[in-house]
Structure formats: structure tokens, C-alpha cells
A and B are shown apart, each in its own frame.
Chain A
Amino acid sequence: MFKVSCFARFFCWLAMAGMLFSTLGVPLTANAAGGVQGNLRGSVVDASGAPIAGVLVVATSTSGKFQTTTDASGYYSLLQIPTDTYALAFSKQGFETVTLTGVTILGDQTQNAGTVRLSQIKTLAHVTARSVSSAFQPHQTTDETTFTGRRVDQALGETGSTNYNQLVESAPGVIQTAQGSNAAISIRGSASVEIGYQFDGIDFRGAFFDENPSAGFLNGVGGGRGALQVVSGAGDATQGGIGAGVVNLVPGRGSYPGTGFVNFDVGSPWYDHALGFQYGIATPNGRFSDFFSVRADRSAPQIAPYGREAADAGAYFGTSFTYDDDVMNNFVYRFGRNGDQQFQVLTDFIDHRSWTSYGGLAAAAWYPWNPLNYGFAETDGNGAPMWGCIYQNQAPLAPGASPPPCPSFANQLAWYDSILTYVQGVPHPKDPFAPAPAVTQPEQFNLGPDDVLKLGYTRQLSRNATLNTFFYNWGGLNESNITGNYSDLTDGGGGFFVNGYNPEGSRSTGVQTQLVLQAGEKHILTFVGKFENNFPYWNQQNDGNTWQGLSTARSYDEQITGYNGQNPIAGYSPNGPRIEDWFLPLIPGQPVSASNPCVGPALDNNFNPNGVTNMGCYLYSWLLSNGKWTGQLPAMPTAGWNYHNTDFQQFGIGLRDQWTPSAKWNFDYGIRLDGQNLKWGANPFSKDLNNPYDVGVGFAQLPNTFLYPRLLEPRAAANYILDPNDSVRVSYGRSVSDFFGQYAGTPSALENINPIFFQIPAKDSASNPACGSGWHPAGPSPNGQYIPNNNTYFSGALIVNAPGNFFQCPNYASSLYWNFDQGYSAPDVGGQQPSTYNNWDLTYQHQFKNAWGMKFTTYVRRGFNTYQTVELNNGPPNPVTGQQTPGSFQERETGIQKALGLEFMLTTPDRPYGWSGFLTANYINELTNTPPVSGSDNLPIAQQFLYESNVLFHQSFLPPISARAGITYETKSGFRINPILSFDGGEPFGVGRDAIGFVNGVLYHLPTSNIGVATPYAGPGGPNLTQNATCYVDPAFAGSYFHPRDFACRGFAEPALAGQSFTAPRLYSDLDLEYTKGRYTWGVYINNLFNNYRGQPSINSAWQPVANGVGGAQTGEFAGAFPVNLDGTPNLNWIAGGRDLSHYDQSWLPFPESYVPGINYRFYLRISL
């Protein structure tokens, strides 16, 4: 029976409630993780070997003092104590006190301190003095690496460093990814979405792609406090919801006496300065402790050689300036009998902001808030005019006469301007010929802040039971930009957004509970549980989106009615909203008639801007006939995306047994259940609350395995101690990667709606309905009857070879909403189950005579149903061209991953002086059925047929061989030298000579080409881009798909498959030098000591082949230098701020090499406090 005499009843209640729910089968608890706490066990005997009862065992570290007593068997355990390196003191009256040092407690691991004989003042045991960061951890059952104390300094050089990724990359199994990747690291070949990030044990992953919310900045670790843990693979049964591994940042804690430091950094040659401050303090009895850490950094930009703009190096979206503010406080209050209860308040306020390099956006349509951007709205997708006109003072039209041309462009512009609703901050294009607004600052693309709150409670319930529970609430705007998202900026050719704010982020609120029970002397049982509400947030609205919905619908009309040479579909009769609805008659204020016709470009007048149309003026006519015409049309609502309070609930429960049957064997096995409840936000335009996004057929199925996944994950590990210096371990675990926010798709929104649109009837009918996504099953629903309708813009025939089902729109606003949804974001959701992974690994550990430690691990990782972004096919391939015609994309779970790898780690003992350090090395061979597209871990939007080909590709974002070392030499006189070396054997490179495409309806492997279906599936930008082709076929005669006649190649001998050629090996060297005297430390950190500023090559997609390996004069150039045509009209090809690549370094080459930061220096002063 638990005693609930504590004042923290709330937390005890939470814990009990969690256990109760678990008993009732209601999912409640449990993702632990890298683990911020572990267990200690051992026994005490006398000289004869007889157990001694009642021995006081006190474990002391900077994390606190924890104690227990031995039982009648001489056995003791300390459960759930913070990960740290402890000194153990064994004392009992009549015996001489014995002290053990260097006893490590790893997160979620049980450390066996062995047997202590009190009479001999000498330890037997199997514990050798080593740090928590030693590679040799003979009792370890799962693959975990911890960096703390001096090992952190060896990896980072400077104590005050904020380089999170550099520290993580020092762990075996962690490999630095190619430039441009979403995640800077990969664990055992994981894509970015398969990594788990934690902060003091709480899941700390971005909402949309599991990104690292700390944005690569480190705080709270270093200076002898805190730790960073990396768990590779599935981990134990207390860890869940994570595909490939976990990185857990464990902030430091206060201790007595208080210590800390303040450091000041300045960097050179580019602008860089930083301030760090941390201080940890505790009361002498350890009852109160507090650790406070602040990092503030300002730097710009990391482009080499020094002095170049990011844009000059082709890094148009490279960061030109960033700042990082991070304030963290970790407060712990221990209370109760012998301090057996603990209350923790951990807070962190993170504010990272970044700006691009301005004025250098190669293909930015809207930069900087280009007042000419309406040009992109003048025509539809087929180039037909879209604009109406406001006539003034026109006489009625004579019989047979044609309307006069629109008086001026200003009249057209006035029409356009009058029907739009502008979001805040977006300038109206009222003066098209005014110069673009001055660029006053770089564009901010990353906007914080994030905030973290953790409230933790730990209680030793009895000598054999400990409860740990915590509540957390964190979130914020961890990724957003103020002028539209990334693709808005890059889409110059067919830009279809206008400027808008694009805030996105999330908030996660959860509770996690862990109950650890000592069951006899050989079993430690752990019950874990977690429940979290995750609220992904994304709200982007603008008028341009609405316009694009109308433009898309119009384009489709043109195609299926035979415009532009296509075969018409007989009987097609669009009945959704169209831009023609917004046209005005020649004489506004009078009914539309023969003498006052509706004028504007439409299908029935061959898109003549001055033509009479019978398809237009719907809104005007309704308003006039209902007495609501005010002289102006109501403004067009804004459309976009809104997550409508979507809640992705996550939960997990786990049971784990750590069984120690003998001194040599350690078993660790268990099982857990992870689950989610995907609760979509309400849709104001759908009455079907159970299916707000109106899906359920074709690719948008909503099986329970998608909406309510429940997945079991067995975990088993064993460790065998061969001898005091050798051990082996083996483990198997199934892991699950939770669905993240992107699985909610792009739920449409329509806002800023004039109420009149709810009164205006829609144009559809019960027999020809136009509302709905097109993915809904036929039949009744709260929205009404769904029936198939070929006449609605988005016909399911495009995707699943059958008409979509729709319901009758209740009003024009609703039809406008669904028109946008149909044209822009369908299907929103739908898929299979979350990704699962089988992880096997085998480790041999050894401790050398000089106390060096090593571990060597081989692993196999197999992913099922892994995350992919897939273009939905519209049907069979084009019988002439062989091209599959794509529709929208969807997050799918049809991926495969196969990874085989080797990990190695070698560590020296921590020594106060002399040499110490570590070395890690990795080899990985990974195959996946996601084509290697961009030299990064970004998952491309790939065509369905690429997966149908059953081809496994080599991943493209990791070097197969990599290594990292941190070596320190310190003298008693205060000098310290710390080289940090990183090596990789080259990254996969090139697009390969193999293409996959349909020839006469059959999928073939073909030689890559720049035309037809044989375009490469690899390369930057996506699959099947002509400009990524290795060779160009002879335009005079191309040969056949099977025997193309290439006339010019880039000059690089591509291997058969992408990813099978590698860039040159690279070895980078950083060097940290310090001198400490008294409280003062002066240092310099030299980054990239030998100025290896060349990075990997990339394909120049703007290469103009003249001959083999030779580019033409327009290589790297873009049409975009002239904002205004000769006649004064806007040049639609103009890109404000656009620059030609060819003017900058190497962009004239077929394979320009990107830059990495060259040599730079950080000078610092650190003052110990």
C-alpha cells in the first residue's frame, strides 16, 4: 500500500491514477527514453562470505546523495537515482567503512556494484573505477552512450560550446548527414523523422517532422554537469515512439558547494560573439539544489571563404544571421524521510531566430514583397487570362456590337484589387509600376520561441519500490517564417502563393510515470507509461490561395472541355465556383443583359478579356437581384491551411524486467504497447464530425490502424560478462515511429469570409453536387447524400479511376472552401500504420589493462512501412509518352529500410592531467526503396511507380565510413590542447545511369536521359527532373529508350546506380587551446584548422551542354534581370532580387562544389565562479 502522506498529493494522485488506468486497460503511461535515472544493485558480505544485514549504503555524486540499507541477504538496491558517476560508502557499526568510486549509473540501466567485503577494506566486485562515459560498461544491456564531464569537453573543446550536433556526432552509431539534410545527424541510418529527441527524459520533438526543437544549440551540459545520452536502436521496453534511437539531453543539477562559470566568446573572421553563464548550487544537506544555465550567441554567416555573401556561394537560403538565446533552470527539492522524495521544476526558454541572406534569392517570386506579383495571377495554369475589368461610364451595348476593351490596365487592376482580402502586412498592388519596396533587412525564416516546463516528482515508496512521475508542457513556434514558406520563396516559375504569414509549431502536454520494483534480489521490474496530447499548429491564410483554387479549377475546365488540344469529355458541366463568378457587367448597377453583358475572359469566348461571357457575373447578378449590390463585390475570402486544434494523442505502456540470475548474466526483457489517437480538428465546412476531412476511399482510407494505431514492441537483451575485462551483449527490439503532424495533411481553411457568402446559394445541385473532397464514400452522411459527380473539378477519376463523391453545397462559401480543398490539398489524410523497425545488435566490450575501454557493435536494422512522401498516380501511364500523371502527394507508409552497420568506440580513462580522449567509428550499408534524390535525408516526393519497381536504392545522405575523435592533453600548469578530428570516406554522389520508366505500359530500367520517361530518379530537387540527367541525348535523333544516343555528358563517369559513387574522403580538424590560471581560462577554438572549405559537389541543374563536360555561356543563368518590359508592362519572368548562379563561384561547372565554413577562430575567456 502506498503512503500518500506527502504534500505533493497531486503527483501521487497522478501516479496512482496512472497505475489504475493501466490496470483497467486504459492506455496511460510510458515513454521513458535515454533515461535520466538508473538503478544500482549489489550485496555486502563479511570476511567469511556471509551476508551482512543493515549496512548503510550511501551513493554520492554531484546529482545528490542517495542511501539505503542491505537486507538480510546482504542485498541492496537504489532505484531511480540520477545518471551520474557515484562514490559508494558502505558502513556499519563494527565494520570498517568501505568506499567505492567511479560507479556509473546510466539512464534506464541497472548497475551491478558487485559484492563488497567489509572486513577487508578492499573491494572485490566487478566495478572498476571508470566514468559514465567509458566505452566499457560491462553490465549494459542496451546500446547506450553517455557523454558527461570531461568527455563532453573532449568532444567539444570549449566548455561553453553550444554545438549540440558536434557532441551527438561523437557517439558511435551517430553519423553526420549530408549538407541540406533536415537533421544534422542520423542514428544507424535513420531518416530525420526516425530520431527521437528528449530533454531530461521528456519527448522533445518538433510536431511536423520530428525535428530537434533545440535547433542544434546545446545548453545545460558541460562544465562538469549534465549529460548527453544516445541510445541506438530500440532501447529497452521503457522507451517508445521512436524509430531508430534517442538523443537525450540531461541538464545539470546544482550541488554543494556551488560552482559555475561565465564565458565570453568572440569569433573571427566573421561576426560571432557569445555569452555563457551557468551556476549550480545546493544546500549542504542537498535538500535544495538549483542549476541555472544561460547561452546567448550571435553569429553570421558561416560561408567560406570569408567575406562572401551566402548568396554568392549559391546558398540563397543560407543563414546570414542567427541568434540563440537559451535560459534554463533546473530546481530540485528533496524532502521526506531521508530525502526519499523529490520535486523537480525544470524550465527552459529557447529563442532561436535566423535570417536568410537577402537580395540573393535565385528564384524567389515574391521577394521582397514584390508589388508586381499579381502578374502570376493574371493567367491560369494554361496561360489563359483570368482578369475581369471595372468599366466606368459605359453606354449600353448596341445589338451585335462587341464590348470595348477594358479602358486600361488600371481598370483591370482595380477589379483584381477590389475582390481580394489582404492579410496584414501584405502590400496591395495598387501601383504596379512603382519600384519594389526597398529591402531593409534579411528575411527572417525561423522564429522562436519555445518554452519548456517539466514538473517531476520522485518518491521512494519503500526500500524496494520507487515512483517517478512528471508532467510536461512545452511548445511554441519552432519553425515559421514571415513571408511564406520555403516553397513560396523558391517557386519562381509558377508561383502561386502570395505573401502571408506562416506560423507553425506545436504544443505537447503529457504525463509520464515510472514505477520501479525490486522483486527479490534478481529482478528489477519497471512499469512505465506515458500519455501526451500533441497539438500541431499551422495556420497559413492568404488570398492567393483562394485565387489558385479558382485558377486550378479553370485550368481543369479548359483541359477536359477540349481547350489546348485535349480531347473533351462529353457532357462536362462545371458547377463549382469559378473566377468568372466574380466578373462584372459592362455597366455595373444594371442587370446583365444583351446590352449590358458580362465581360471577361472565359471558356465560351476563348478567353477574350473583352469578350462577352454567359458563364460569368454570378455573384454580381445574385447581389443585384436580391437588393444587396453595394457598388462593389464582397472581398474574396482567404484560403489556406489550419490544423483546427488537431490533437495527436500518444500513449505507451511498458513492462520491463531486468533479471540478474548470476554475477555474469544480465537479462533485460519486456514488452510495450505504443498507440496513438489521431483526432482531427473540426472542419467548419463539414458536419461530419467523425470525418472532418471528408475522406475514406482510394488512397485516403482511414483504417483504425491509421487513426488508432496500437503496436506491440517486444524487447530483449542479454549481457554476459566473460571476465572482469570482457563482456558481450546482444539485443533485439521492435520500435515504432509515431505519426507526426504532417500526417494530418494540409487541412484546408477559409477565413475572412464576408457573411454574404453564406447567403448566396452555391451553383451546384443535388444531382450535380460540388462540395466535398472527392474522397468520401458514397451514401448518406451528416453533410447530406454523397453521390458520384464527374462535373466537379476534383473527380476521383483522376486518382482512383472513378468519379469522386460529393454532397450539395449549402452555400457559396462552402463551395468556395471545397473548391480550394479539391484543387489544392486533397487528400488530406489517409494511410496505413506507423513505421516499425526490427533492431538487432551485438556488442563486444573490452577493458584494456591501462583502463582504456572499447566497444564494438554490429547491428542490423530493418524498417517496415517507413515514412514516405508519394505522388498519387492518376491512372495508367500516358500511352504515348509513358509518363505517369501525378496528382497531389500524400504521406504514405510504404517504405522499406535495410541497414547493416558496425560501430566502434574507444575511450581512455578520465584523467585530470595528461592524455585522454575517445575515438568513434562507423560503417553503414543502407538500402531503401525511397530513391536517393537530393543528397540529404529529405524524403523526396516520389512517384508511386518507383516503389512499384521494387528497387532498393542506396541511401544518399550518409558516408559509409566515418570516424570522430576528441583528444585532450592537459598539464598541471594549466595548459590544455584538444584536437577534434572528424573523417568521412565520402558521401554518395551522382544520379547514376539507371532510370525507371514506363515504355509501352511496362516498367523498365532504362539508361538515364534528359527526355521522356528515362529521366533520373535521383538528383537535387526531386525525381525525374530533366536537368539532373547525366547525359543529354542528341536532339537530332535521340535513339531509343533502350539505346539512347548521348551527345554530351557532364564529364563524370556515373556508376550504374545512384549512390554508388562517392565524393572525395574528407578529414576535418578542429583544435582547442586553453590556458588556465586560477579562476581564469583563456582559450582559442580553431574551427577547420586546415581550411578545408570545399564541401561535396552538387549537380548544376542549369548546365547548358556544349560538349562532353563543357558548359555553354548560359550555364547557371536565369532569366530574371529585367523587371519591366520595354512597353512598360511587368515582365512576368522577372524575379526581384534574382541573381544568376553563373556569376558566382563554380556555378559554371557541371558539378559545383558547395562551401563549408572555412577556418575560423573563437577566442574565449572563461571565469570559474
Chain B
Amino acid sequence: MKSFHKAAALVSIVAIAGCGANSAGVPITSVNPTSPSYGKLQFAVGTANIYGTATGLNVVSTLRQPAGTSAIGVSTPSITGPFTFAGGIAMAAPANGSLADPYTTLFSNPNNAAAVMGPSLAEVASGNTIGGTPQTIHPGTPDCDYTGTLPPGTNSNAVFTACPSGFTPDASTFGQSGGVFAMGLAPYNAFAEQGQAYSYVPYAQPMYDDGTAHPLFLPWGGPPAFDPDGNGMGTRDGLVPAGGDTFGEPYFLGVGEGVTVFEGLTPGTGSYKLNVAVSTIGNGGAVTTNTISQSAPLNSTATLPAIAAPQVVPDANGDGGASFMIASIPAGVTEELIQIVDWGPGGAPGATNPNAGSTSNCQGAKGPQFAPVYYTIVVKAPGSYTLGANHGPNTNTTGGNAHLTPSPSICTGAQNTAALGSSSLGDSITVQAIGVDYPAYEAANSLTAATVPQAPQIAGSTGQSDITISPPIIETDPGYAPTPLSGRRSARGASMHRTPSSRPLSIPSFLGVPQH
């Protein structure tokens, strides 16, 4: 009997042993990414006056969660509306697998001497859609442009690929890397294999422009207007992460200004729509795709007046600062972003890769030696404006958080000579003005605020968001005379794009001995 009791106790113990069966170890908290209470999509469109010579479509959007940061890490946007592709637009093919995102047509094709960047064949065929490649397309699927025969009149320079049997064209403007984020359309989609975004660099502007007339520019906002840490150095203080993305481009050279201008589109009045497809993977691995949408009107196709870049004059006292004069603000323009880019002595941008071409200067490792330095000044009224003397990158690279040392904003010849140890000119700069009729600066800069709004204002008083972009000028030492900056200055940009398997910049990763 005693044994029986023990046996019963044993059975109890064994039964208890089953209590842990199949228990999940980790609680998962999640949100519904497409719920209106979580992600708020805003969308506005307007006309674009590009260099005073071309018309395009300006697209502004935000998709933020309540805390103000981007709501969706991976999405597939598409824009529809009463626009047309301009006749003769250069339709583009993707870069044939040489990019981390092989489907996007927004990056140059190394097999294409013309480095065409434009809409895909399928998008042009659709007539009024700019889109992306669905995330549901398995990575590794061959990129291709058309089925059947190549449409007549296709840009002969592009290398288009016929889809194999069973495949439909998957090349698109945004590819799988482009999505909608806290400050608009950008190639920031998360790249599953690397635990990062494809890119942390905004699209080079104007989109669909091949850099023939003028080099493309990156809409990085720098100090003094964009200064997240409040130390006057913008993002070049060493406290903001820096590195290279899967396209080989350096980030964060500034704060993205949220500018996405499509050249080669002829906007028409009417309602435009931004669809954002969000594919999530659920229980059992099933993929569900939901779409959130927002419409925006374009009531007028009138463009803002052409705008010119001001001549930026370095301070006569050689302190590294500069000034410029804005004589007038064009009608309709409510604010201008004056972009000053420091390329170092003798530097200048490449045509299709706006980061290429910078040189070492007095600003040290974080200066143009790494990548061009961006400054932004917001102008809302005519007058004289200054770029302070010490908005350059932090040069105290051993001082940690507490000992930051800003450098001259635009190094003079003397400063460069002293820093580089050999006779040197002062820095070359490029200047460009971006005029808008909506609070573009406030919307973009709100990302750096302590409290980030979920729905910043992105449309002007007319209900649309118009933009005018000046031709860039380059000013070089000596004299700093303004000279129009022509495109196609360098063919090097195309080679900068690298596959995600690119090695670290300094030492080959396989230098290490094999693990054993």
C-alpha cells in the first residue's frame, strides 16, 4: 500500500513534467502596420520647375507612426494619376543583378554607356503608373523587362532583358528597395539578409534625369538648418551613424529633405493616388498584402517661376564662413532651401553619383575626404544670409562625445594648406536653390525634433506642393566666381554602385584565417 502511494506520487510528478510542453519562449508584441491608428499616410503632389528648362512632377509624402518615425519598414509604392510620360523619355532597364536591388531602374546600368535612369518598360507602357516590384517576388528571381518582343522605339542604349517563360516583367522604378517612409519615397526598404535598409541615402534628384544637363544632387539637409544634435555640425559630428549602405553609398551626410521630383513626366490636373502595398508574413508563413492609399489633387499645372542659385562668397577674413544675398523671392515661393556643398579643393560632383569627386581638405576625416559636406540655409525673405564660420565636421575624432571641435565651413586655401601640408586652394563649392510653396523644411526637419509630429504639413495653401529647382553653380578658388555646373563631368559614378557582397572598405574580409 505504501508503495502504491509512492507510485501515485510518482505519476503526479511525471504528469507535472508535461506542463512545460510546447511552451513558446518569447512573447511577441506587434502592431498592425496598416492600421490607420498606427500608420498615417500623407500624400501631396505639385509641379516641378526643373532648372527652368523642364517640367516635372513633385511628389511629397509621409508615412509615420504615432511617435513620428517611419511606420512601415518595407512597402511597395505606386503612384497613379493624370500624368503622362514625356515623349522620348529614356526608359531604363535595371542594373542586371549588379545591385543589391536588381529590379530598380533608378540606378545606373553598368552595361549601359548612357547610364539611363528612368521608368521601366512596363511603367511606360501603362501610361500613368510609377511603381515598385512587389516584395512577394522571391529574391534571386531574374530581373526582366518585357515579354514577347522588345517594344519599338525603345531606348537603344538600354540593355533590356526578355522575361523567360513563366515570368512577368519585374523591373520597376522603385524595385524592391523603394518604399514610403517618414519623409517620403526613398530606397530605405529593409533588406532581409543584412538586417539593414537597402540604403540610407535619398534618391538622387531629379529622378529619371540622367545627369546630362546637370549633375544629379542628393537632397541632404545640413547645418545650420538641419542640426539634429544642436552643436552646429549637423550630422557630421560623429554622433550620428555613418557608413556605407548596400549600394556602396555613404550615409548620413545630412537629414533627408524629402524631395522627390520626377523629371520627364507631364503632370495633368486631377486626382493623384499613392498606393502603398504592405506585405506581411503571418502565421505559418503565409503572406498577406494590404494596401493603404491616399489621394492628392493637382489643381493647376502651372509651375513656380525659375529660380537661380545665389553666389556664395567666402568671408573675406578667411574664417571659413560665407555669405550670399537673396535679392528676391519668386512669386509663389514661400521658402527656399539654399544648398551649399563643399567638395574640398578642386573637387566637383560626378554626374550620376553625386557623392563622387570630393577631396581632402581642412575638415579632416569627416569632411570631403569621406564625402561632400552639405550645408543648408532656409530663406523665406529677401536679404543677406550667412553661413557661419564653423559648421564644418567635427575634427576631434578622439574626443568622444564631450570634446567636439567644429571645423571651418568652407576651408580657405590657407586652412587647407595648413591641414594638408602642401600648398592648396580653398574648397570648391556647389550651390543650388530649391524653392517650394509648402513647408518642406519644417516637415523634413521635424524628424530631428524631440517630439516628432505624425502628420507634418506637406502641402501649401493651394493644396498642392510645387517646387522649383535652380541649376547648380560651382564656385572654385580663387575667386569663387559662379559657374554653371554641367553634367556628365565624370563617368565614375556608375562604378560606385556595388553589390551587397562588397568587401569592407579597408581590409578584405577574408584576410582572417579560416575558422576551424
Interface residues as binary, A1014-1048 with B (CB distance below 8 Å gives 1, 0 otherwise): 10000000000111110011111111111001111
Contact call A1092/B502, Cβ cutoff below 8 A: no
A1025 touches B195 (CB 8 A): yes
Q: Report if A879 contacts B (CB, 8 A).
A: yes
Cβ-defined contact, B3 with A1039, below 8 A: no
| Residue B200 is within 8 A (CB to CB) of chain A in the complex | yes
Interfacial chain B residues near A1046, Cβ < 8 Å: 69
Question: Is B162 at the interface (CB under 8 A from chain A)?
Answer: yes
Q: Tell me the residues in window 743-799 of chain A with beta carbons closer than 8 Å to chain B beta carbons.
A: 745-746, 798
B7 on interface, CB distance cutoff 8 Å: yes
Chain B 129-163 interface mask (CB, 8 Å, partner A; 1/0): 00000111011111010000000000000000110
Contact with B along A202-224 (1 / 0, CB 8 A): 00000010000000000000000
- Contact, CB under 8 Å: A1094 / B24: yes
Question: Which A137-164 residues sit within 8 Å CB-CB of chain B?
Answer: none
Is the beta-carbon distance between A880 and B242 smaller than 8 angstroms? yes
- Once the chains are docked, how many angstroms separate the CA of A1132 from the CA of B421? 45
Q: B301 near A: Cβ within 8 Å? A: no
The docked-state distance in angstroms from the alpha carbon of A559 to that of B509 is: 13
Q: Which residues of A contact B203 (CB under 8 A)?
A: none
Q: Could you say which of B135, B403, B511 has the most chain A C-beta atoms within 10 Å of its C-beta? A: B511
Contact-residue bracket for chain B = 35 or more
Interchain CB contact under 8 A, B397 and A1113:
no
The interface bits of chain A over 1082-1114 (1 if a CB of B lies within 8 angstroms of the residue's CB, else 0) are 000000011111101100011111111111111
Q: Which of B27, B29, B142, B511 contacts A1108 (CB 8 A)?
A: B29
B22 CB, min distance to chain A CBs, angstroms = 5
Q: Does A1169 contact B (CB under 8 A)?
A: no
Contact call B140/A1120, Cβ cutoff below 8 A: yes
Known contacts A1104-B73, A1114-B135: A1064-B496 contact under CB 8 Å: no
Q: Does A566 contact B (CB under 8 A)?
A: yes
A383 CA to B356 CA, complexed, in Å: 19
In the assembled complex, the Cα of A984 lies from the Cα of B514 at a distance in Å of: 35
Given the known interface contacts A382-B502, A1025-B195, the answer about A1064 and B13 at a Cβ–Cβ threshold of 8 Å is no
**Cβ–Cβ contact B192 & A381, under 8 A:** no
List B contacts of A538 (CB < 8 A): 516
Q: Are B401 and A1042 touching (Cβ within 8 A)?
A: yes
Residues of A within 8 A of B238 (CB): 880, 882, 999-1000
Q: Is the interface of A mostly helix, strand, loop or mixed?
A: loop
Give chain A residues whose Cβ lies under 8 Å from the Cβ of B282.
1148
State whether B19 touches A1067 (Cβ < 8 A): yes
The answer for the CA separation of A175 and B263 in the assembled complex, in Å, is: 66
A490 to B, closest residue via Cβ? B515
Task: Report yes or no: A1032 in contact with B190, Cβ–Cβ below 8 A.
Answer: yes
- Tell me if A493 and B183 are in contact (CB < 8 A): no
Q: How far is the CA of A1057 from the CA of B255 in the complex (A)?
A: 31
Complex Cα gap A1069–B515 (Å): 37
- Residue of chain B at shortest CB distance from A538: B516
Which of A977, A1010, A1040 lies in contact with B239, CB distance below 8 A? A1040
A1103 B192 Cβ-Cβ under 8 A: yes
Task: State whether B26 touches A383 (Cβ < 8 A).
Answer: no
- List B12-32 residues whose CB lies under 8 Å from chain A: 13-14, 16-32
User: Is B14 touching A1089 in the complex (CB atoms < 8 A)?
Assistant: yes
Query: Once the chains are docked, how many angstroms separate the CA of A599 from the CA of B22?
Result: 64
B285 touches A (CB below 8 Å): yes
Which one of A538, A1000, A1026 has the highest number of Cβ atoms from chain B below 10 Å of its Cβ?
A1000
Contact indicator A1041/B38 (Cβ below 8 Å): no
Which A residue's beta carbon lies closest to that of B243? A881
Asked if residues A556 and B18 are in contact (CB atoms below 8 Å), the reply is no
Map CB proximity to B onto A1130-1153 as digits: 1 under 8 Å, 0 otherwise: 010110000010111001111101
Which of B191, B240, B512 has a CB less than 8 Å from the CB of A1041?
A: B240
- Contact check: which of A485, A981, A1038, A1122 meets B200 at CB < 8 Å? A1038
Against A, the Cβ 8 Å flags (1 = close, 0 = not) of B238-253 are 1111110000000110
Q: Would B514 and A497 count as touching, CB distance under 8 A?
A: yes
Asked if A1000 and B256 make an inter-chain contact with CB atoms under 8 angstroms apart, the answer reads no
Task: Using A485-B514, A1110-B31 as known contacts, say yes or no to A381 and B509 having CB atoms under 8 A apart.
Answer: yes
Complex contact B190–A1038 (CB within 8 A): no
* Bound CA span A548–B278, Å: 42
Q: Is the CB of B18 within 8 A of A824?
A: no
Interchain CB contact under 8 A, B397 and A879: yes
Q: Is B65 an interface position by the 8 A CB rule? A: yes
A485–B97 Cα distance when bound, in Å, is 30
Write the nearest CB–CB distance from B297 to chain A, whole angstroms.
Answer: 25
In the assembled complex, the CB of B425 is this many whole angstroms from the nearest CB of chain A, namely: 19
| Residue with the greatest number of chain A CB neighbours at <10 A, chosen from B255, B396, B397 | B397
Contact of B400 among A565, A887, A1001, A1112 (CB under 8 A): A1001
Beta-carbon contact of B508 and A556 below 8 Å:
yes
Residues in B with CB closer than 8 Å to A486 are: 515
* Closest residue on chain B to residue A981 by CB atoms: B17
**In the complex, A1050→B370 CA distance in Å?**
33
Residue A684 CB within 8 A of the other chain: no
A402 contacts partner chain B, Cβ-Cβ < 8 Å: no
Given A383-B502, A1037-B447: A1126 touches B181 (CB 8 Å cut-off): no
Q: Which residues from chain A contact B255 at a C-beta distance below 8 Å?
A: 1037
Whether the Cβ atoms of B514 and A487 lie closer than 8 Å is: yes
The dominant DSSP class at the B interface is: loop
**CA A1105 to CA B509, docked complex, whole Å:** 27
**Smallest CB separation, A489 vs chain B (Å):** 12
> Which residues in B have their C-beta under 8 angstroms from that of A473?
none
Instruction: Tell me if B501 is interfacial: C-beta within 8 Å of chain A.
Output: yes
The answer to whether residues A1109 and B30 also contact, given A1092-B21, A1114-B135, A1134-B140 and a CB cut-off of 8 A, is yes
A1055 contacts the other chain (Cβ, under 8 Å)? no
Q: In the complex, what distance in Å separates the CA atom of A1035 from the CA atom of B70?
A: 8
Q: A552-B510, A1038-B200, A1111-B280 are in contact. Are A1047 and B69 (CB under 8 A)?
A: yes
B141 to chain A, nearest CB (A): 7
Smallest CB–CB gap between A695 and chain B, Å? 13
A1068 to B136 Cα, complex, angstroms: 40
Answer whether residue A1121 sits at the interface, using C-beta atoms and an 8 A cutoff: yes
Q: Would you call B41 an interface residue if the criterion is a C-beta within 8 Å of the partner chain's C-beta atoms?
A: no
Known contacts A1104-B192, A1107-B30; is-contact A1115 B281 (Cβ 8 Å): yes
Q: Contacts A874-B506, A1036-B186, A1037-B448; is A742 near B25 (CB within 8 Å)?
A: no
Known: A1029-B195, A1036-B188, A1041-B239. A1051 touches B28 (CB 8 A): yes
Question: Do B195 and A1027 touch across chains, with their CB atoms under 8 A apart?
Answer: yes
> Which chain A positions have C-beta within 8 A of B140?
1118-1122, 1131, 1133-1134
Chain A residues, CB < 8 A from B186: 1035-1036
Cβ of A1009 within 8 Å of any chain B Cβ, yes or no, is yes
A493–B364 Cα distance when bound, in Å, is 34
Does A817 reach chain B (CB closer than 8 Å)? no
A1103 and chain B: residue at smallest CB distance: B192
Residue of B nearest to A208 (CB): B516
- Contact between B29 and A999, CB atoms less than 8 A apart: no
A1041 to B193, CA, bound (A): 23
Known: A745-B513, A746-B513, A1116-B192. 18 other contacts (CB 8 A): A381-B510, A382-B503, A383-B498, A559-B508, A566-B505, A798-B511, A879-B397, A881-B242, A941-B515, A999-B400, A1001-B399, A1011-B241, A1040-B241, A1096-B25, A1110-B280, A1118-B193, A1125-B97, A1151-B26
3 interchain residue pairs of minimum CB distance:
A1027-B195, A1002-B400, A1109-B30
Residues of B within 8 A of A (CB): 3, 6-7, 10, 13-14, 16-33, 38-39, 65, 69-75, 97, 134-136, 138-142, 144, 161-162, 164, 181-183, 186, 188, 190-197, 199-200, 228-229, 238-243, 251-252, 255-256, 278-282, 284-285, 287, 289, 356, 360, 364-366, 369-370, 394, 396-401, 403-404, 447-448, 496, 498-499, 501-516
Subset of 23 A-B contacts with CB under 8 Å: A485-B516, A745-B513, A826-B513, A871-B512, A888-B513, A969-B3, A1027-B195, A1027-B196, A1033-B241, A1034-B69, A1034-B181, A1035-B199, A1052-B29, A1064-B20, A1067-B16, A1089-B17, A1104-B190, A1107-B38, A1113-B134, A1114-B192, A1116-B192, A1117-B192, A1118-B193
